[in-house]
Chain A
Amino acid sequence: MIMTIPAKIKCSILLVFLVVLFSSCAEDQALKKVNYYLSDTITHWLVSDTAFMRFEVVDNNGIDREYFMHANEHDNTIGSSYFMGVKTQVSFTEYCYQRFRSNYFDEFSIYLYPSFNDDVYGEQIHFSINDLSFHYDNNLNIVTDIYFGSHYLNLRITSDGVEDKSLISSSLSFLDSISINGKEYSNLFHFKLNDLKEYWDDYTITDIYFAQGVGLLRYDMYNGLIFTRK
Chain B
Amino acid sequence: MKHLIQSFRIIVLSALSFLFFACPPKCNNQLIVISPIPDSILNLVPYVDGQKVCLKHSEGTQIVFDCSRRRHTEFDDFDYGCGNSIEFEVDRTILTPEYPLPEISLSIKKISEDYVDMNLWFAGGNFNFIFYENKVDTLLEYVIDNHIYINVWALKSDHYNSYLNQPELLVDSLYYNAEYGVLRIKMNNGETYDYDNSCKN
Say whether A63 faces chain B, with CB atoms less than 8 Å apart. Answer: yes
B interface footprint on A4-43 (CB within 8 Å = 1, 0 otherwise): 0000000000000000000000000000000000000000
Which residues of the other chain, A, contact B163 by a CB distance below 8 angstroms?
A: 70, 101
Known contacts A54-B168, A103-B124, A103-B170: A62-B100 contact under CB 8 Å:
no
B101 CB to closest chain A CB (Å) equals 6
Instruction: Tell me whether B165 and A69 are in contact (CB under 8 A).
Output: yes
Question: Interface residues of B toward A: which range?
Answer: 20 to 34
B36 CB to closest chain A CB (Å) equals 33
Say whether A65 faces chain B, with CB atoms less than 8 Å apart. Answer: yes
Residue of A nearest to B189 (CB): A64
Residue of B nearest to A61 (CB): B61
Q: Please report whether the interface of chain B is mostly helix, strand, loop or mixed according to DSSP.
A: loop
Question: Considering the complex, which residues of chain A in the window 75-121 have a beta carbon less than 8 Å from any beta carbon of chain B?
Answer: 101-106
Contact of A104 among B60, B123, B166, B168 (CB under 8 A): B123
CA distance A105 to B101 in the complex (A): 8
Say whether A225 faces chain B, with CB atoms less than 8 Å apart. Answer: yes
Question: Interface residues of A toward B: which range?
Answer: 20 to 34
Question: Considering the complex, which residues of chain B in the window 156-198 have a beta carbon less than 8 Å from any beta carbon of chain A?
Answer: 163, 165-170, 187, 189, 191
Instruction: Tell me whether B100 and A106 are in contact (CB under 8 A).
Output: yes
List the count of A-B residue pairs having beta carbons below 8 Å apart. Answer: 50
Q: Please report whether the interface of chain A is mostly helix, strand, loop or mixed according to DSSP.
A: strand
Contact of B167 among A61, A63, A66, A203 (CB under 8 A): A66
Instruction: Tell me whether A63 and B61 are in contact (CB under 8 A).
Output: yes
Which residues of the other chain, B, contact A62 by a CB distance below 8 angstroms?
A: 57-61
Which residues of the other chain, A, contact B165 by a CB distance below 8 angstroms?
A: 68-70, 101
CA distance A225 to B124 in the complex (A): 23
A interface footprint on B96-123 (CB within 8 Å = 1, 0 otherwise): 0000111000000000000000000001
Which residues of the other chain, B, contact A145 by a CB distance below 8 angstroms?
A: none
CA distance A207 to B12 in the complex (A): 75
Which residues of the other chain, A, contact B101 by a CB distance below 8 angstroms?
A: 63, 104
A25 CB to closest chain B CB (Å) equals 37
Instruction: Tell me whether A225 and B100 are in contact (CB under 8 A).
Output: yes
CA distance A101 to B168 in the complex (A): 12
Contact surface of B with A, Cβ cutoff 8 Å = 57-61, 100-102, 123-124, 163, 165-170, 187, 189, 191
Listed A/B pairs (20) with beta-carbon separation below 8 Å: A61-B57, A61-B59, A61-B60, A62-B57, A62-B58, A62-B60, A63-B59, A63-B61, A64-B169, A68-B167, A70-B163, A70-B165, A101-B163, A102-B167, A103-B124, A104-B100, A104-B102, A104-B123, A221-B100, A225-B100
